[in-house]
Each structure stands twice: as structure tokens, then as C-alpha cells.
Structure 1
Amino acid sequence: MGNTKTYHLANILDLKSNMRIAIDEAVQKDADGNYLINVGYLRVSTDQQAEFGYGLEIQEDAIVHYCTSNGYTNLLLFVDDGYTGTNMDRPALQTLIDYIKAYNTGKSHIRVISLIVARIDRLGRTLLGTLQFLQDYIISSKDSKSTVNQNKEDIDFISVAENYCRIDRNNPQSKFLLMLFCSLAEFDRDQIVLKLKRGRTARAASGKWPGGGRAPYGYRYDPKSGSLVIVPEQAEIVREIFRLYIEEKMVPQKIAERFGFCGDSAIAQILRRKTLTGCVTWNGEEYAGNHEAIIPLETWEAAQEELERRSSHRTATHYLLSGLVFCGECGAKMRYQMWTRGRPKLICYSQQASKASLVKDPNCDNEKYWADEVEEAVTQELFRLTYLGNTEKIKSPTGVNPIAVLQKELAAERKGLSRLYDWVKDGEEPDDILDEKIQNTKKKIRHIQAQIREEEDKATINMKLQKTRQILRTLESTWPYMTEAERQTVCQELIDRITIFKNGTIKVDLKLKSFLINNQK
């Protein structure tokens, strides 16, 4: 036998945060010297109820088990965590597309030969989006009608849960079945959505409460009639809220404090709610409601005019240190407040009582400080700390990717677990012995996964450190040329907290400062 070099994913890939290696036994090369890799795609959306019972871990286990059972020697996973399937513009999916396009245009020797998903709806929840992706990036250009398709060969497409959902270059019928079942999947989904939408529209058109969320303040929902019923005590408060806002010109925060609401946003919601006039609004349409009105339409319209009038008088502000300054005596936040001749001061919220929830000590005796003087002191402190952006003393990375090493260990343990499950089916060892081996292997897998998460956290911190160092290195020279908004953004990026004490001492705490200092040692 000749010397055959073994290649591994960890050696040929530059992993991003949404990629990870699941199997890395060997990577083969084709006759043209291209690395042949298999990829899996995982996705969960932001709709946790829809995803219940089919999370990322379950999808990964299904894909890995399929690959190990079918002799795959490598597997690279692309993971979109928190992205809806109705939109194909997702970070990990775009990264996968970049790999495919790079090979097709001759910019890369990494060739994707198989794409595996746990279920077809993990790739996409719309017929057009899913089929367009397959036409553009999976089917070879000679078979595709897509003008953007540059694929030199088909990429095998496999859905673990739906074995008929695949593209097999040796079985043309599988393409037809894939498209057929994609169509049926979206048809079924659209039917459910349409029925729900029609049901709510019909309820609203008949004057009933369409549901979705709690009944608006001032009412309760009566399940027997399907309509809203007035709560007299709350209705009286609603009428008084409108009177205070329209006639007394009282600000929402003061109204909230008077009636015990959590903040001004709750009052604003009540003032904008047209349901209080006796109508039902649903999906952009307005219907006559079966419920009794709490306020007349004229009162609601007057409130909308007042809301618009007050909104037009607001001007955007870019105070340099907004949200970053705290009182060193009581711990409350400090706010900008306009003082004489348009010159603002920084004042402790405990002394203002404009927002009761922000008061820490009503007897706080901290001073009031000219905002421009505090801003100048903070700016000079930032300039002093620019030495933390120096990278001369920072140790260079070892070149070993700990995440790749751990992922290789994880793949080996998962392969071993897959073998144990096969032994259970074959009955090769007593159940109690196999069960102990399975539990021990699962424990090892959980431990490795925890180590990977820890290393990923370290990598995230390192990325933030690099960004912070870059800002600090050039801060003093670029500061004079920044706009007010840009300076505020820089302060928000760098500063964790500014504390002002009664003796005038100003303490500036940087985000990640401890990491920056440790790296200088």
C-alpha cells in the first residue's frame, strides 16, 4: 500500500461561531484535489412553542446518528439559533452558501458533497424559498433553471425524518418527490394559518373579541358571549386618565404614579387603544364591537391629537454619557437636566422623584454637577486608558484550536454512543452492562459539550477584547473628528459604569477592563 495522507476538517476549515465539527475521522480528496465534506444544517426559530420537542440538540443527534450509521467520515454543522424558517436570509445558511459558491467559482478547494437536515422544515418553511435554494445551490447547473446556479455537480440532499426528501444523483424520481412533499408541507401549514386567521376575522366581524393576549384594561373577557364586559372600577380610571391627559395636560408618568401603573408606557397604551370606543380592531381592519364603550370616539380622537402635538415638540438628544452615570452615595442613576442658559447638569434620580422606581434614597445629598465638566473628565480618563489598547505585551495564540480538538473528541464519543445503541438492538451484551456504558458515554458527551461552551465564551470575549483594543488605540487621535452621535456610541461600547461621589471623585469602569489588564501582564 502507498502512503495515503489523512486530512481532517479541523485542519482545512476556518470555523465561524455558527459552525461546528461533529465528525472528523477523515476527509477524502477527489481527482482534482478538492476536499470532499458533508454538511448538516440545524435551525430553531424564535417561536419556542413551534419548536418544542425538536431543539438543536435533538436535530444534531438525528443527523450525527444518520451519518455514523451510513459510514460518513466527516460532518460539518451549520447552526441558526433563533431564526424563522420563512426567511432564507439566515447567518449560518448564508455561510454554507458562501462555501458552495466559493468552490463553484474556483476560489476554494472545499467541495460540499452532501447536505443533511433532520427535517425538511428545518431548511425552510416556504415552498418558494426551499425550492429556490435547491435550484440555486444543490442541483447541478445543467439540471437547474436558475440563472445564478453555477454548481458543477449535484449535492446530495437528505432529510433524516423524511427519507423521501432527498436529491440523489442516481435517482431522478427523488427530486420530484422532494418538491412534491415540500409543496404538501407548505399547503398544510398555510391551511392551518388560514383557518386560524379566518376564525379570528370572523369573530372580529361579528363584534366579538378576536383573542390573542389579555383583555384590554377596563374590560374582562366573557367566554360565554365571546365579548368584552366592562369592569366598572377600571373603566372609571380609564375615563380619568383621558381627562387628566387632555384637559389637565398631565404627563403620562404622573398619571401612572397617581393610579399605580408600572410606568408611562402603560398609560400611552391605554390612550392609543381604540377598543375603548366600542369597536374591535383586527388585522388592520375595524369592526363594530358588541361591547359597551368606555369613552366616546371624540375623546379618543382628542387624545390622539394631544399625543401627536406632544410628540412633535420632542427633539432628539445625543447626551454623551446617557444611561452610564450613577450616584456614588445612594447608587441611583443620574440624569441630564437642563439648567440655566441651556447648560445641563447631572442630577441623582433620588433627588428628582420624577420616576419613583429609580429612587434609591430620598435623602441622598449628592451634589449636582455640570454635565460638560463631567464629560471632559471622563473623556480625559478614556484617553489615559488608551495604553490598554497596546498589543505588544499580549501573548500570541498557540495555533491550536481548542474548540476543534474538543469537537473531534465529541464526534468520537457520539460515534461510540451510536455503536452502543446498535449493540442494544443486536443484544450482544447484557442490558445492565450496556446501560452503564451508555450512561458513562452520555456523561462524557455532556462534559465535552460544557467544555466547548466554555471555550466558545472565551472566544466571544476575545473578539470583544480585540474590538475594544482597536477603539482604544486610535481614540485620542480620532475623537476630534467624531460627531456627537459617534462619540456617544464609543462611550456606550467602552464604558460599563461611571460613578460620581459627593467629594467630586469620578470613577470610570470600562467593560472587560479586568481582561484588558490581565493581558498586559
Structure 2
Amino acid sequence: MKQSDNKTAHGTAALYCRLSRDDNMDSESNSIQNQKKILQRAAKDKGYTDTIFFVDDGITGTTMKRPSFQKMIAAIEAGYISAVFVKDLSRLGRNYIEVGKLTEEFFPLHDVRLVAVSDGVDSGEGEDDFTPFKNIMNEYYAKDISKKRRIVNKMKGNAGIPLSPPPYGYMKNPDDPRFWVIDPEAAEVVRCIYRLALEGNGPLQIATALGTMGALNPSAYRTSKGISKGGSKSTLEPTKWNHTTVKKILTLQEYCGDVINFKTYSKSYKMKRRIENPEENRAIFLNVHEPIIDRVTWEKVQSLQTTRRRLPTVTKESSAFCGYLKCPECGGNLTFHFNQGNHDIKFFSCNNHNSGLRKCSSTHYIRLDFLEQVVLYEIHRLACFANEYENDFIKAMVGRSAKVAENDRVRKKRELDGLLARDRELDMLFERLYEDNVSGKIDDARFAKMSKRYEQEQGENAGRIKALRLELKKLEDKRMDVDAFLETVRRYTDATTITKRMVAELIQYIEVYPAVKEDGITNQRVTIHYNCIGAFEVPDRRKIPERDILLETRKGVALSYAPAQIAI
């Protein structure tokens, strides 16, 4: 036995254990329990009776920013540690530059003995010339694992398998953990958030409402269900919601039933910071799992999030039409106002006429009470037409242009599926080629030539895949969901008042034209552009209410409603 083993060592020995997915976590030889046993026995054999464990479980060795590792470094700097024991050098890390600094500079500077049991390294018995090479091989192992994992993730991601954990509202499918199913309790909170958004509430207002309701925030909900998630722990109270959390929930397309892969990426296996991927580089798969929010509602909420309005400064009161009225001449939004002498008189007007720019040649002005009558009347006419003449309504909605658009979509989808299949095939070919090169079946020259050809083809395909995805997304945004729109319209058949949710669900925007006097009658013209179907003039038919809206203004002027003509 060596002399160093016979005498009792002085000082405290740090026994450092680390395990991550890179290290084959299923292997008993690499388990934390096994590492502890090995290190405890080795420390005892070397004469160390005062030992302390530092354990990082589930953390990659490519980063040196590990909690327990950093505590051990701090203890060494404070002079509390005289020796460090690890199972092998890869436990210290798989970054040969950083590990090299530790073994060549940091440990000698602080007079710390390093023992790597499985590698036969003991700095107390002299330097080991092969230690730097072992560190290089440890990093190469991490690099090789990262490369293989990227290939596997790319194959899974392009096959429509979710690469991220299920968002709040979903959980892993017990029958197939690769996919998601609805979590009923959390999904109901998600639906509530979208309902509140459609009613005109912002993220902060929704967060306050959820707290009042006593709904558990996502972090507290996961804890209550025994679900662990990485990252820092939330310090919020269980029923306290952050408005940024609400905002994120309101933007997740996954709630429509879609899977979106490759949202982020990292430039290197050494860099853990994720970078947001451009939209054209993402893989989007529609209707993979059961939706929590229907697509029409989700898209409407997205439009609401981009048109948040400030409340008027007089009474801080808002209108359901704020952000929906447009000037057909300049394209700007009409602004909500109160009459300074009588706050009961509320109206919308285009500022570009009265401003110094004079973009509009005439005043685009409409009173709120008159507008409410007009919109409610037109919605009643639309609902009546949809109920009494459903077939005619559907024919009017789905014309030749919609069929042409659908044919174009199918053709582009078929081409995209073919390119994605070829991309997956190339990944498998490249992986087999790589394995053949490592095993010696293919020499380096042949490998370089074939891999270059595969990479060139993948690069050409990638450009076309990006273009097709963008084209399909534009077509998908324009597709009409007649059934969903019919159902929405029918919900407001007997509506007696205008609500924010009604406007949000039915209307895209409303064009307001200047009031004109014709044959002694002042007519106010407006055009309503509905969601999904655009501008639509309900035909005059039996059982459909006739137009008869007249408002007596305070100046004694009779204002009549006349819909603007829609070009067919």
C-alpha cells in the first residue's frame, strides 16, 4: 500500500457527485448512490475521516454553473477543503478548458488534492500526463451526444411530436406520454382567461380577477398535483397571478390543438441560453391534440392583444367599439370622445380631418347611441338570414374563390409533406453514414463527399420548406370557418344590447363614412366587416327585418341609417 494511504490525512475532503441525461442516468454504475459509496470508500482508504458531499443531480457537465459545484468552489476558496474526490474526471465537467483550469491552476493554487477514482488520478501522488487528454475526450463525448440528440429531436420535431412539456391546461397522455391531453381543471381556467379577454379585459385585469376567484397560478397548480418543473421556484402566493403569465397564455397557439416545434434554439451545446427562432424556421402541425380554445376565438384574442386602447381621459370609460372603427378615406382609427358640455353624448370621430395634416377631406363622425342601434340591427338581420336561409347563407360564404384557395392549400400541403419526409430520410441517411464512418466501413473522403451532397440537398429543401410554411400560414389565416361563424351568430339572435364580447367575436372592423344630406334627409353610411366573411350585405327577404333606424339629434336633425354599397 502506498505511503499516502497509510497515514491519516488532515483536513476535510469534498466528495463531489454529478449525474445528467448525458451520463446514462439509467446506469447503476453512474447513479448518485453508487458514486457516494465509491467516494466514501476511497476517501476512507486515503485517510480522510472528515468528509462532506456536494451533489448536482440532473445537471449537464457542459456548464460549470452548477449549484453544489459552485458551493464546493466557494468552500475551497474559503480554505475549508483540502481534497476533492470524484468518481471520474467527467464528473467535474465536460468542458476541457474549464476543467483544465481547475486541475492545472485552481486546485494547485489552493493546495487541494484531486482524486478521480475510476481514472486512477491522484494529484497527491504526482502529475498524470494523460489527464488533459482525458478531459478532451470527456468533452468530445458531450459534443457527440449533443449532435445525436439534435438529430433525434429534429426527426421527432418534424414528425409532429411535441418537443416541449405540455403548457398549463394540458398534461401528458397516460397512454402515450409523447403527446398531450386536456387537464380539465386547468383547462377551465384557460377558457375563463380567454372569456375575460374577449370581454375587453387586459392581462393585468384578468390576473386580478383570477386572484379574486381563488384560482391557483400555474406554478402552485403544478405543485398541488405533484408535478416538478425545472427553473427557479415561484415566490408568488398560490392565488396571485402575474400579468405576464396571463399574457403568455393568451398567445399560445397550442391551445388551438396545434404543436409548434423549434420555437427556440441554442448556437452550441456549450451555450444553454435559448434564442428565439424566426417563425419561418418553426415546424407547425395543426390539430394534433384536442383544442381548449377554438381557432376563431384564439385569432380574435390575438387581434385584441395588438389593439389595446387607452381609456378616454374624461371619465376613464371605454366603449365596446374602441379600436374597431376605421376611416375609409385615410385608414386611421376613429377616436372615442365625450361632448364637453354634455358627457351623456358620446361619439367617434377621425382626428385626421381636424388636425393640421388634413388627411381627410370631410368629417367622419358617428354618435355611439346611433352606432349601437345600427350594429345591433345588422346583427339581427344576419342572424335571421343564417337561421331562415342557412343554405343560401353557406353558398354566399363559400364561393369559387374559397374552393380555389382550398385547392391551392391542399397542393402546397402535399408538397410540404413530401419535402419534410425527404428531410427526415436525409437525417437517417446522414446518421447511418456517420456511424459507418466511425466504424470504418466508409473512409473519410467518401464520408465528406456523400455528407456534402446530403447537406446541400437539405439546404435547398429547407428554403422551400420555409416558403411553403409561410404561404400555408397565410392561407390558413384566410380560411373561412363557416360552421363556427354560424354558431357564433346564432348566439346573438335575441341580443338586446351591445357587449364587448359580441363585438370581438363577430366584427373585424367597421368603416364610417361622412353623413350626407340627400333629398332633405341626412344619411349616415357604415360598412360592417365581419370576422371570417368580411363585408356582407344581407339580402332583403321575407322574415328579415327591414331597415328603419332614425335618430333625432339635439340640434333637431333627423339622422337615418343607410348601409354603404358593397362591391361584389
Give the TM bin, normalised by the shorter chain: 0.3 to 0.5
User: TM-score by structure 2 length?
Assistant: 0.34
TM-score, normalised on structure 1? Answer: 0.37
